[in-house]
Chains A and B, each alone.
Chain A
Amino acid sequence: MASLIGIDVGGTFTDAVMITNGVIERKGKIPTNQDDILNTLISALDYLQISKAKNIETITVSTTLVTNAIMQKHLPEVELILFPGTGMKLSSLPWPVDYSVLTGVLDYRGRVVVPADQSEWQTLAEKLNQQSVKPLTAIVSKFSHRNNVFEEQLAAYLHREVPGITTALGNQSGKSNFYRRTLTTYLNLAATELFQNFAYQLKMAVEARGCRAPIRVLKADGGVLPLAKIRPVESIYSGPAASVLGTLAQSNPEESYVVVDIGGTTTDIGLVLSGSPLISTHGAQIGPFLTNVRSLAVRSASIGGDSAVCLDQGEIMLADYRLGPAYCIGGISPTPTDALRYLNLTDYGDLQRAEEALGMLLPENQRTASDLRRTAEIIVEKMVEKIARAIQQLLEEWKTEPAYKVWEVLHHHDDFKFYIQLSGGGAPGLEAALENRMKMRTVLTKFSEVSNAIGAAMAKPTFSWTLHLDTKFSIYRIEETGEQGIWTGPKKPHREVENFLKELAQKQAAGLGIETDDLEKEIFDYFPLVENYHTVGQIVKGAMHVPPGVIGRIQS
């Protein structure tokens, strides 16, 4: 019997589970040390006693390492080189980093309109040689997802001229949106060394405990990839994805529901439609950086059981930060957890201290039982209101997803019967109030205290292959991998193009250690290319996905 291990590093606690045949064998929470994620993870593994476990199939971690490094600006300096070509001015968008600009224009099909100016490259190489011994350089051109020529040529040139240089190219993530592609390339390069060190040390620590199980990392899109294959930037915001997957592993496979996971400082909200988590149409945003990292559509509301409660001109307010744990478990400030404890909606923490915490919000002469009760109720109401608004926002976002085909629009608003799957610390105490506020049936997730770790343990690998084929130019490109190649098939392909993509996907999946049994095919679009009333080729767009999901269900 092989076991699955899941660890989710949260803002306050790190959850850990060991699951064997759908049964939770061990579970627990340990405090997170945000300054030392590696040791937090290793402590969690020790807590699960992995060295004693006989047969571990995989260890999956959801880590805030890269998120923290980005948010705290603990990233090394990266030289950002752009070929922005023509079109919108760079200054129209906010750039959180400095960049330099080179000459060269591609059009929307990747044709060179204005060639690159190699005399500029020489100046650039000289500058890089002077600046740093081992410069990190991200090179991105507009439309490089259609033609990587400028990026590849400049990289080759710099590798000749600048010893020790490391380059990252925009076309390696071939998704459109020059701005997001640039920031993603930049962040990924900046986080690579940090992540590789972490990966190496984690692997060593696990092996030192006599465990040879492969280590996988949870991604923002709810999928996992082996530690060595993941692009570091893809690990951002895997926490909310873990919430959604954890719920998925503990509910009926076909149902549609809103996932609400109440944590200490934030509440994560996600959407599952007929058993499939909703993917965001845009990429993830992290701090000031918009990326093209594929992610689940999730909302993170800044409210949790530990949110500080304070008075603002006599009115009770819920802050969007925490000042340590709840007062009833030894903290310094009143929190929603204290209110829930006082109302006996939970049995977590000391009742006496909960009462004291609420009393701090009232003048001394008003600390009667009914006033304390009313205060506690207001806190719970306000918390539910904040969560309800975030749920409504996500539902609204889902309803207003863009659509580009008649078929999509006509089938866009299929009716789903939603209910709420509620998990997290304060969940039991908020069930009734949330049900009442949202007018939606609310169900408590069984192992809600370690739901995220369950999600990590049971997540399946995901991957997508989005093909863009231009048969006029005989060039194909894969967005996710940045692969660009020559098409040797017919000018007007049909079935052969789907088989081509399928074979390519299967081959690459094998390299990533992903099974492709449930490869999902999107409807392919075939655009005829007409010049002077003659069809001269086609542009074909299509995609295949290994969708996010979980391996089996947790036995309750």
Chain B
Amino acid sequence: MNKTGIIFFPAFDWSLGEFHPEREERLLYTQEQIFEEGIMDLPQVRQYSPGVADLFDVLRTQAIFPDFQQHNLDAHLIAVGSSLVLGNALMKKEITNGFALVRPPGHHSGATVWGNRGFCTLNNEAILINVLRAKYGIKKIAVIDTDVHHGDGTQDIFYHDPNVLYISIHQDGRTIFPGTGFTEEKGGPNAWGSVLNIPLLPGVGDEGFLYALENWIMPAVEVFKPDLIINSAGQDNHFTDPLASMNVTARGYGKITEMIKPDLAVLEGGYAIEGALPYINMAIFLALAGEDYSGVVESQKPQNTEIGGDTIRSFLTDLKRTNEAVRPSWAFRKEPFLPAGDWVYSEKSIYYDTDGFKENRREYIRKCSHCGGTVLMISQKPSVFQKAVLVRIPFEACPDCEQAGYDLAETFQKSEKTVLLQNQLRNQVHLWTDGREVNPFGG
């Protein structure tokens, strides 16, 4: 029998606005359902109290621009902190798996953060993953993102990291926010193949989802051999979801969970407050706890017609073929400020839908055959003429990449207002403002 940890943190006093889909009542009915069912009384279940993440754990993974104080992060820090509580419980072997049923969600929040996008400001799973690596020395982690939306933030954070396999199965980005997650996106120059995107046609239902899991996702996980599996558990593939149209049922989610066998599941999206969330959360929870979830039945029945078995099977076969045929095409670039080595260059524009502005980003990745490679991100919020720089020395960085990171930090702290150095190798975070190093952690 599994020993399952749960943190239920609905943040009933936090909201993005009166008519926002990510609203305070999102987990109200889930609470009604799980409390009434008495799942906290299952002998194998342990309920944990929410925690508050600290700034250090956040900044090791995400650069908060232009500075931390300009964001109200209370609710987000608790959602992250609660995920960390379960992570720690897992590492201490108090539990065999766990479910952080928390809001606000996080998987659209990327490596650089200027505000809220897709209802996310801090990335719960990404921060959790880097805590598990830094604190407990976990080497390889697989993230399976089952939210209907592509988890572009999580992909962004780990795009150059060969030790984190990011798999997202979602509704095709041409038909839904955030408009990314195509099968061609397969990871950066030192982490090619560590990202797997499976964009689905709308309406595939349980059958298509489970087929993709069985025939593509789980085999990929098996090849990668992760030490841990994290499930970004979005609930918006449900047939009642107002923002998507995937036709998955609560019992389908139970089955998905049973197949993935995540060590930790973290709640992401899901906006069918009445029709989906209470049922899906129950089914996932029961599957994690090793209980029968076949009694979880929605009060509504699916209305839309599903795309049939053959159609989805041939669609996925074609998609897989396309995915395998993609070859990397790197653009190299030389700049006076870049240290020795070959630097791959790319540009990115990120739209913050909640706040309605754009971030423009230039990225340089040191091509390296020994490690994940140092990353430089020069990020700009054009609407207010603000610029900030992130330098990341990765976990297990080689000496050359480590040195390159220090050189870059030194170069930019003179010229730029805000520079953040994430030294994941040495578990340090440095922040410079106007050329002076500041200690954002207090004390």
Q: Which residues of A contact B (CB under 8 A)?
A: 86-89, 91-94, 105, 107-109, 111, 113, 142-143, 145-146, 176-180, 282, 290, 399-407, 409-410, 412, 525, 527-530, 533, 535, 539
Contact = CB atoms under 8 A, between A and B. Distances in A.
27 contacts: A86-B296, A88-B291, A92-B42, A93-B41, A93-B42, A107-B299, A108-B36, A113-B299, A146-B32, A177-B38, A178-B38, A179-B41, A290-B41, A402-B49, A402-B50, A404-B9, A406-B11, A406-B74, A406-B78, A410-B52, A529-B25, A530-B19, A530-B23, A530-B25, A530-B273, A533-B19, A539-B28
A123 to B, nearest CB: 23
B12 interface: yes
| Count class of interface residues, chain B | 35 or more
A92 B291 contact: yes
A89 B291 contact: yes
A88 B38 CA distance: 9
Nearest to B51: A409
A88 B286 contact: yes
Query: What are the 3 closest A-B residue pairs judged by CB atoms, nearest first?
Result: A179-B38, A108-B32, A400-B49
Interface of B: 8-14, 18-19, 23-25, 28-29, 31-33, 35-43, 47-52, 74-75, 78, 273, 278, 282, 286, 291-292, 294-297, 299
A537 to B, nearest CB: 11
Given A108-B32, A403-B9, A530-B273, 18 more contacts: A88-B286, A88-B291, A88-B296, A89-B294, A94-B43, A108-B278, A177-B37, A178-B38, A290-B38, A399-B49, A400-B48, A404-B10, A404-B12, A404-B31, A406-B78, A525-B13, A529-B25, A530-B19
Task: Tell me which of A109, A179, A402 has the highest count of chain B C-beta atoms within 10 A of its own C-beta.
Answer: A402
B440 to A, nearest CB: 19
A87 B295 contact: yes
A226 B278 CA distance: 40
Contacts of A143: 32, 36
Contact of A528 (B13, B25, B40): B25
A10 B80 CA distance: 47
Interface centre among A142, A403, A406, A525 (most CB of B within 10 A): A406
A409 B41 CA distance: 23
A91 B28 CA distance: 26
Nearest to B293: A88
A126 B39 CA distance: 34
Contacts of A179: 37-38, 41
Nearest to A145: B36
A375 B31 CA distance: 53
Nearest to B82: A409
A88 B282 contact: yes
Contacts of B39: 88
B36 A142 contact: yes
Contact of A539 (B25, B38, B40, B49): B25
A83 to B, nearest CB: 12
B13 A407 contact: yes
Contact of B23 (A88, A89, A145, A528): A528
Contact of A87 (B23, B41, B78, B282): B282
A409 B12 contact: no
A89 B49 contact: no
A88 to B, nearest CB: 5
A177 B8 contact: no
A502 to B, nearest CB: 22
What is the interface of chain B mostly: helix, strand, loop, or mixed? Answer: loop
A527 B274 CA distance: 13
A111 B49 contact: no
Contact of B292 (A92, A107, A108, A146): A92
A268 to B, nearest CB: 24
Nearest to A111: B299
A179 B75 CA distance: 32
B94 to A, nearest CB: 12
A533 B36 CA distance: 28
A109 B23 CA distance: 18
Given A406-B74, A525-B12, A528-B23, A87 B49 contact: no
B28 A178 contact: no
Given A109-B29, A143-B36, A539-B28, A401 B41 contact: no
Contacts of A407: 13
Contacts of B52: 409-410
A186 to B, nearest CB: 14
A410 B11 CA distance: 12
Nearest to B85: A400
B95 to A, nearest CB: 14
Contacts of B295: 86-89
Contacts of A87: 33, 37, 282, 295-296
Nearest to B30: A108
Contacts of B50: 402-403, 409
A104 to B, nearest CB: 13
A528 B18 contact: yes
A177 B49 contact: no
A107 B14 CA distance: 26
Contact of A402 (B47, B282, B299): B47
A404 B50 CA distance: 8
A398 to B, nearest CB: 10
A412 B82 CA distance: 14
Contacts of B74: 406, 410
Nearest to A182: B38
A178 B11 contact: no
A406 B38 contact: no
Contact of A401 (B13, B14, B23, B49): B49
Contacts of A145: 36
Contacts of A176: 32, 35-36
Contacts of A177: 35-38, 41
B40 to A, nearest CB: 8
A176 B33 CA distance: 9
A178 B36 contact: yes
Nearest to B47: A402
Nearest to A285: B41
Among A94, A105, A528, max chain B CB count under 10 A is at: A528
Most buried by B among A88, A108, A177, A405: A88
Nearest to B292: A89
A528 B48 CA distance: 28
A155 B79 CA distance: 45
Nearest to A407: B13
Contact of A108 (B33, B38, B41): B33
A53 B51 CA distance: 56
B38 A93 contact: yes
Contacts of A108: 29, 32-33, 36, 278
Contacts of B282: 87-88
Contacts of B47: 402
A206 to B, nearest CB: 40
Residue of A111, A176, A401, A539 with most chain B CB atoms under a 10 A cut-off: A176
B72 to A, nearest CB: 10
A407 B74 CA distance: 9
B44 to A, nearest CB: 10
B21 to A, nearest CB: 9
A105 B32 CA distance: 15
Contacts of B294: 89
Nearest to B52: A409
A351 to B, nearest CB: 48
A89 B41 CA distance: 13
